[in-house]
Structure 1
Amino acid sequence: MTRGKTCTLPPENLQIEAAQSWLARARSSLLLARQAPQQGVFLEDLAFQAQQAAEKAIKAVYLRFGLAFRYTHDLEELLAGLEGTGCTIPAAVRESITLTRFAVEARYPSPAEPLSPDELQEATDLAQTVLEWASQLISSQD
């Protein structure tokens, strides 16, 4: 995938399937984020999976409604795009924009303080909120 590229829109009858596929991937990422860390696994890497869960869930909403999205990890940009189409974004979902930092910065060595278990829990809770919102939106349109 090229940076700045937009997704291809599936025909109407495939939009639900495409959205469900993205939701399945979002659920998988959330399960990975919630795994008990093994020795040698960085909490930041698990937080990246939480960010990915939220990102994939948001993109599933785009697909369900036949909307194009830019391939970006910026959750604020993705939510703003949905809002621009008239979609109401709940405050709890909007909070997920804080996960964007885990998309790139947290995946690489950094002089920043390591992520705490509480911060990881907060990240997975935010991702769960986004996933539930997206699932509800998508299923209510079936």
Structure 2
Amino acid sequence: MSIDENKIRFTREWLVAANNDLLAVSRLLQDPPLTALAAFHCQQAVEKALKGYLMWHDTPFRKTHNLLELVEQCSTHDGSFIELKEIAESLTPYATEARYPDTELDMSREALADSQRMVTSALAFVRGRLPDVVTTPMTSG
């Protein structure tokens, strides 16, 4: 029985996009830091990884930036996803609030470095629950 090549490709595309968002965060935090953009890409990286996981499991998802909603959907396949709840709650506001100048979010370089660590952890968590066939390669050209 062969795995659907389209399913592999689409899942991998979500994961590559997530990884590219994480790479963008690293670059955006270099001097001079662009913290609002880095915050947005932190949220986007986790969103795309979660959607990649759902894609692999043939689970439809709505167009949402709510990471907690996506974590809850993922947890229907693997209950350990609930471990990402705190990360989801921390990063979800970055999807919208970080894009506007009147935000009350802490977007200091230090706060974003913490967020970057959360993203790195969340992406490793998701990749660890998917088969190798979709987790490599993890960068795009």
Report the TM range for the smaller structure's normalisation. 0.7 to 0.9
Identity of aligned residues (%): 26
Match of 1:50 among 36, 42, 45: 42
Q: Is the 8 A contact 1:44 1:114 kept in 2?
A: no
Q: Is residue 2:23 matched to residue 1:61?
A: no
Distance 2:133 2:70 in 1: 20
Who is 2:123 aligned against? Answer: 131
Who is 2:73 aligned against? Answer: 81
RMSD between aligned alpha carbons? 2.2
Q: How far is the alpha carbon of 1:112 from its aligned partner?
A: 2.4
Distance 1:111 1:61 in 2: 31
Aligned residues between the structures: 130
Distance 1:111 1:78 in 2: 24
Change (3 A) 1:111 1:49: closer
Who is 1:94 aligned against? Answer: 85
Q: Which letter maps to 1:20?
A: R
1:32-55 residue CA offsets vs partner (Å, 9 max, x unmatched):
11113444x531211110110000
More helix by share: 2
The farther-off stretch of 79-88 and 127-136 is 79-88
With the length of structure 2 as denominator, give the TM-score of the two structures.
0.81
Point out where structure 2 has 5 or more consecutive residues left out of the alignment: 135-141
1:71-126 residue CA offsets vs partner (Å, 9 max, x unmatched):
100000011112234442152x2222110010001111115265111110111111
Q: Is the 8 A contact 2:97 2:103 kept in 1?
A: no
Point out where structure 1 has 5 or more consecutive residues left out of the alignment: 1-10
Q: Is residue 2:97 matched to residue 1:105?
A: yes
